[in-house]
Structure 1
């Protein structure tokens, strides 16, 4: 049968019609992709090397590395790099662990499972602005529900939105909660794809729930786990909405919570430093690209099942 398929493939001849007909179907997508994805990336790359760039007249004096020199001598950009990396390394593992836990619970046949699924998926279909406003009231130091709960258990409340030392904690809590729905959906799809016969065999061998999770679920779920971590790192590196909403379009209390994307936004739309914003975007692209390569390398070592 395989030989017959190969013979039929060899009989297919490429003609102008067989080439142009698929190309016409793909043309709208390719046009949109070129216009809104590929060309902006190329434009940002060149703009980052323009010195004294005039965005209105599209003119520049010379080509060089002046934007990058200004970038790495700006303490706000260096602070944004530190805050972004710290946010990524805090939120990604915690949100991934919680998402895996909730997905495992939701995958069980429990009472009122639909209610729990709706509660966990609600952030995915709710406006970021509306959610941010709710969290602002929850983080309020005077009458917020989070400080009230902490006081009930004997802990003193924090100045979540007022003090720079507490602002990163507030951002991470909000970011972890925002990341749960997508990660839960991905984990649930991976869990439901695991054949139940593996669990039956494990139970026959006397394996308990924890051993089944460690010996069966995690190895078979490792491709999904690697995908979730990869997508979460990329998403967390672009954190912006959370900062913008919680602190009324300011980068945290006393401007202490700059992130790289917020720095790009302020450089472009507020200060009109187009070259500086483009250079920062290029640096962010490089960081995300390196982190993705590292994850792909580690994934080859840790993924047990494909």
Structure 2
């Protein structure tokens, strides 16, 4: 389905375009034939504009005049950074989201697709989690600032729809990983941190230390699969309600199993230690992708072991330029 509206040119602005998901979308657009005739794509990085600033947000929108926006930009970090700086994550992300959505409104953007996070869901809940449960209770204490800021996008989307009839919606991915992720061990999400730790341990001949017991279970989604699905949402998904873009609950794995797959992918034969003095975070976040399956029963996700191998290979090949 084309995004074009008569003779009006289509220009898609991707905030957070230099991050992992932005790079995945760019790959799908430029390398997999995802760009349709008459479309222009602009991928913004933090160097182009500080979206915490209303003035810089307005200036970059005026420069590019988008008709559609994929909003990925956020202040993000790993578990322990979130635990230390909940207030900063709350304030910065509230500002970013409000600036992007309100500027899109003021400039007549036709559709905005914002990226939420699986951490928005309630800590104490029943499983599997689905899209209707976003606001059913407080999120986990470890990153409540980030989680509430992300939830607010859903509230804003509803308000813009009610007051102005806008087509603003959101997607909820789970534990995304892949090329161009942030592999900084202190700031990265768990998969990328473990890949970097394993790389270093192999280089130095030391053990890999996994924070926690290795028992928490997660659903991991390969970034290129997510990129393909976000393009589908931009073109064809018309609901206001969020949609979970994730592998299915049958694909949930423990972090211990993930470390074993990383070790195999990187040919690491050293010792693996589990530091049980460190927090596990939530023990599980089982999510159902039943809604996605209703819309896209044909979509096939990259098998986890294959996706981990491709990500590890990318990281080794690009170690000198990767975010470490």
What range describes the TM-score normalised by the shorter chain of this pair?
under 0.3
Q: Return the structure number with greater strand share.
A: 2
TM-score (norm 1): 0.23
Which structure has more RCO (C-alpha within 8 Å, separation ≥ 6)?
Answer: 1
Higher Cα Rg, which structure: 1
